[in-house]
Amino acid sequence: MNAAAPSPLAAFRMRHGLRVRWAEVDPQNIVFNGHYLTWFDIGITEYWRAIGLPYPDGIAGTGGDLFAVRSVINYHASAHFDEVLEIAVRAAKLGNSSMTFEMGIFRDGERLVSGEMVYVNADPASRTAHPLPDKLRRAIDAWEAGTDRG
């Protein structure tokens, strides 16, 4: 996915609004880069809710738990205090035991940040990777295909 061009806002079914907090802005008057991962996490929480598997109980009910194994952020433009942004999330790739979200942060349709979050399904105790539960896979596929809308 690094090589691919990031998707425009319209490619994301899941979008979640957010206003920049004062505590998230640094002396350069821009959002400190680490806060984008907090925002990615918010977007993914909303994703699980949208597909009917709210974190953590919905995911636990499918038989696993998810741990982040990789995150990538490309910073194209800065966000500032009090701006209203959109977090955009889509499941870009489902592997055997891992999955990749494509992430974006947009302001009025302009891409500020693009990135990805890769999670692996793992046993909480042993941290051993397990195949993604079928229930999780089906819920993601249905949401992204739009077939959950009947």
- Closer to a second copy by Cβ: residue 18 or 145: 18
- Closer to a second copy by Cβ: residue 55 or 107: 55
Give the DSSP per-residue string, 101-122: EEEEEEETTEEEEEEEEEEEEE
Reference 140, options 90, 73, 78; nearest CA is: 90
- Closer to a second copy by Cβ: residue 93 or 127: 127
Stretch 13-42: interaction string toward a second copy, x if CB under 8 A: --------xxx-xxxxxx-xxxxxxx--xx
Counting every residue written for the chain, the total comes to 150
**Cα–Cα dist 69/4, whole Å:** 20
Interface with a second copy by CB under 8 A: which range of 76-84, 99-107, 130-138, 139-147? 76-84
Rg (CA), the chain: 16
Instruction: Note whether 54 binds a second copy by CB under 8 A.
Output: yes
> How many Cα atoms sit within 13 Å of 15 on the Cβ side?
16
Instruction: Note whether 52 binds a second copy by CB under 8 A.
Output: no
Instruction: Note whether 93 binds a second copy by CB under 8 A.
Output: no
Interface with a second copy by CB under 8 A: which range of 78-86, 90-98, 104-112, 131-139? 78-86
**CB of residue 150 to a second copy, shortest distance in Å:** 26
Which SS3 state, helix, strand or coil, does residue 46 take?
helix
Contact criterion met (CB below 8 Å) for 119 and 68: yes
Q: Which residues of this protein are in contact with a second copy, per CB under 8 A? A: 2, 21-23, 25-30, 32-38, 41-42, 45, 54-56, 65, 67-75, 78, 81-82, 124, 127
